[in-house]
Amino acid sequence: MQQGLAREDWHPPRNPSVEMPFLDAWRVRWSAWSGQAARATEADFEAVLRHQQSFEGLGDEDLSARLKRDTRAMRFASHDSAQRLPLLALWCVAAQRVLGMSPHGTQIRAALEMHNGHLVQLAPGEGKTLAIGLAAALYAGAGRPCHVITANDYLAQRDAESMARLLALGGVRVVSITSETPPEQAASLYAADVVYATGKQLLADFLRDQILLTGEKDPVRRRIWEMRQSRSAKRPVTRGLWAAIVDEADNVLIDEATTPLIISTAEDNPMLVEAVLAGKQIFESLLADIDFEVKTDPVPDIRFTPRGEQRIEELSYLLPAFWQFPERAQGMVSLAIMAKYVYIRDRHYLVDEEGKVVIVDEKTGRVMAGRSWSHGIHQAIEAMEGLALSSPPKTQARMTFQVFFMRYHRLSGASGTLQGIEQELWETYRLLVKPIAPRVPSRLTVEPLRVFVDPMQRFDALIQEVVKAYEAGTPVLVGTRKIADTEAIAARLQLLLVPCQVLNAKHYAEESRIVERAGEVGAVTISTNMAGRGTDILLGRGVLERGGLRVLMFEPHEAARIEWQLYGRSGRQGSPGTALGFVCLRDELLAKTFGPVYDLIISYGRHIAAHAFLAGALIWLAQALTQRGAYRTRQRLAERERRVASQLSFSE
């Protein structure tokens, strides 16, 4: 079934400063600061509870009929109509009947706030999946497309399957679309009321439709385009961008927002392939620190010495004629240098079983299948690894996730870690962050940092903590930033006869199985940040008596909220748990941030290591400076992307 283009897909990207004038923005923020909005939400919450009590006596058939009737009625009501309150109460009763889960106050408040167009901050374990499902059910009542954006395909499938059973009771169709979905099924799936998918999947399908439409943005022109097409012609698969609910909102809306997604086609370019191989050959004849210098912070920078420039000029005859000019020759050699010194295997990328270079997302530790670096970098890495060079891609369309999310009429979401980015979310998307108090006070104990000067001392101390927990039967989760660290820790534990599971980009297919067993007695799990998003580690029998899950952080991250994602795997829903962070003063975060002052820090290393609060202050300052720099970088990239988009008609 091919879908026509919905009216909601005809508008240009939202510009927050234009969409919400100064006085309106001031009123919204004042409503939040004064508590007026919170009091209104609390009144709505009390009304939902009253309605829920009156609906408890409905039979299953009556409940289903009432849900279908009220859902259809929402199509003719305003978005903030009071009709949504009894409808939400009906869904709460249905959740108890179908899923055996009675939504608690935290989840109901979160669903209301998300339907109001806000971001909610929920403590780990408070049930974001159900809260998002309830908000999606309310959005679906409008009869317009609702997209739930997840962090990965696994979560999209898992959450869609769990919510489909519930929402089907009210006649709401829920599906998931992943990278494995056959293209011929996409149109019928997008016709569903609620679609669970990653931001990458949604943006890629949106851009493909824009390419198919040849840039027609005006609604009249689009209808004319449709009328001109034969019945057998390919049609757009998406049906508009109305409402989006973003799970793990900080990661999707901030961390990955300025990354452009590019739709490209492979194009044979034998001259570029020849130039990449020749550039690698020239690089191999140069000497580091004599012919060239490499700096990786704050951005990669390669500089050639006069001797290096002369050497490249002498060997430029190896390059195709187009690349023999000095600047071009140096640029091609720079690609080889970056492939050797800037892009690190098992950190920025890995080589799969098929001999292909696969990019790894440093923030999540997950593979980014189907993506490649542009401007010859990907081919240079393939050459450095001794692999067959892939065809360079030719760009057909591109758009950043930030620009894409601004196209939605209604945007909301949830996360457990929105602290510290509230201002950026407001300035970028005009989204307010609403913290929701947990049902039960947290019993997670975060121990003081363990600080070391020597990396090997830190490594040995971590191993001792893991062995100690294993011998006591306490399940332990070790979080690292790098794939190589997970493998090194696992190798040491195997020598000590401590069984462990490794979860990183190389073992992503086993994620659900590994996470399912991570809370059992004596379980040891070594993971990159993959274990910090969207996963629930269920505690086995006897674990609570042993103090709950123990989380060990091997290295500080660039943002404190990423550390809290890891710590948040423990102590969920009021259960006990412990967390401990390890810091080495030679860690990358400190070395990158403090520059010339870093040598002074190392010279006083023993004194700092003896006082954990000093190390904690340094980490806090480094993270604050790093996040401030990242915010400015995102602003510059977003502005540049807006300029690029204005030149590409299909991106507006």
Q: Which two tokens stand for residue 361?
A: 């997302």
**Hey, what CATH topology would domain 443-632 get?**
Rossmann fold (3.40.50)
In this prediction, residue 69 carries a pLDDT of 92
Q: Give the confidence band of 234 by pLDDT, cuts at 50, 70, 90.
A: confident
Class of domain 20-263+401-435 (CATH, top level) = alpha beta
In this prediction, residue 153 carries a pLDDT of 86
pLDDT digits (tens, 9 = 90+) for 318-370: 999 888 888 899 999 999 999 999 888 888 888 888 888 988 876 666 777 77
In terms of DSSP bridges, do strands 549-553 and 576-584 run parallel, antiparallel, or are they unpaired?
parallel
Q: Give the single-character DSSP code of 255.
A: I
pLDDT top residue among 542 and 38: 542
* CA-based R_g, the chain, Å: 27
Q: Does residue 262 surpass a pLDDT of 80?
A: no
Q: Does residue 163 surpass a pLDDT of 90?
A: yes
Terminal Cα-to-Cα distance of the chain (whole angstroms): 27
pLDDT digits (tens, 9 = 90+) for 484-495: 899 999 999 999
Q: Does residue 312 surpass a pLDDT of 90?
A: yes
Query: What mean pLDDT, rounded, does the chain reach?
Result: 85
Q: Give the confidence band of 533 by pLDDT, cuts at 50, 70, 90.
A: low
Q: Give the confidence band of 301 by pLDDT, cuts at 50, 70, 90.
A: confident
In this prediction, residue 645 carries a pLDDT of 58
Q: Does residue 477 surpass a pLDDT of 90?
A: yes
Q: How far apart are CA 251 and CA 216, in angstroms?
A: 32
Q: How far apart are CA 591 and CA 352, in angstroms?
A: 31
Q: How many CB atoms lie within 10 A of CB 611?
A: 11
Q: Which of 13-17, 173-177, 333-337 has the lowest mean pLDDT?
A: 13-17
Q: Does residue 636 surpass a pLDDT of 50?
A: yes
The dihedral built from the CA positions of residue 563, 569, 574 and 575, taken in this order, carries a sign that is negative
Q: Which two tokens stand for residue 465?
A: 């903590």
In this prediction, residue 484 carries a pLDDT of 87
Q: Give the confidence band of 380 by pLDDT, cuts at 50, 70, 90.
A: very high
Mean local confidence (pLDDT), 36-63: 89
Q: Which of 36-40, 64-68, 434-438, 518-522 has the lowest mean pLDDT?
A: 36-40
pLDDT top residue among 107 and 630: 107
Mean local confidence (pLDDT), 496-508: 85
Residue 177 near residue 123 (C-beta atoms within 8 A): no
> Which residues sit opposite 443 in a β-bridge?
576
Q: Give the confidence band of 468 by pLDDT, cuts at 50, 70, 90.
A: very high
Q: How far apart are CA 239 and CA 9, in angstroms?
A: 7
Query: What residue ranges of the chain are covered by domains with CATH 3.90.1440.10?
Result: 268-391
Phi, psi of 410 (to 5 degrees): -130, 125
Residue 399's contacts (CB-CB under 8 Å, 6 or more residues apart) are 203, 206, 207, 260, 261, 641, 645, 651
**Which position has the token pair 């790894």?**
360
Q: Give the single-character DSSP code of 435.
A: E
In this prediction, residue 3 carries a pLDDT of 39
For 16-53, letters b (16+ CB in 10 Å) and e give eeeeeeeeeeeebeeebeeeebeeebeebbebbeebbe
Q: Give the confidence band of 7 by pLDDT, cuts at 50, 70, 90.
A: very low
In terms of DSSP bridges, do strands 410-415 and 119-121 run parallel, antiparallel, or are they unpaired?
parallel
In this prediction, residue 365 carries a pLDDT of 67
Q: Give the confidence band of 297 by pLDDT, cuts at 50, 70, 90.
A: low
Residue 263's contacts (CB-CB under 8 Å, 6 or more residues apart) are 204, 207, 208, 211, 395, 396, 397, 398
In this prediction, residue 24 carries a pLDDT of 63
Q: How far apart are CA 253 and CA 436, in angstroms?
A: 20
Query: What residue ranges of the chain are covered by domains with CATH 3.40.50.300?
Result: 20-263+401-435, 443-632
Q: Does residue 94 surpass a pLDDT of 80?
A: yes
Q: Does residue 26 surpass a pLDDT of 80?
A: no
Q: Give the confidence band of 381 by pLDDT, cuts at 50, 70, 90.
A: very high
In terms of DSSP bridges, do strands 301-304 and 450-452 run parallel, antiparallel, or are they unpaired?
unpaired
- Tell me the percentage of the chain whose pLDDT exceeds 90: 44
In this prediction, residue 10 carries a pLDDT of 37
Q: In the CATH scheme, what is the homologous superfamily, with its name and number, of domain 268-391?
A: SecA, preprotein cross-linking domain (3.90.1440.10)
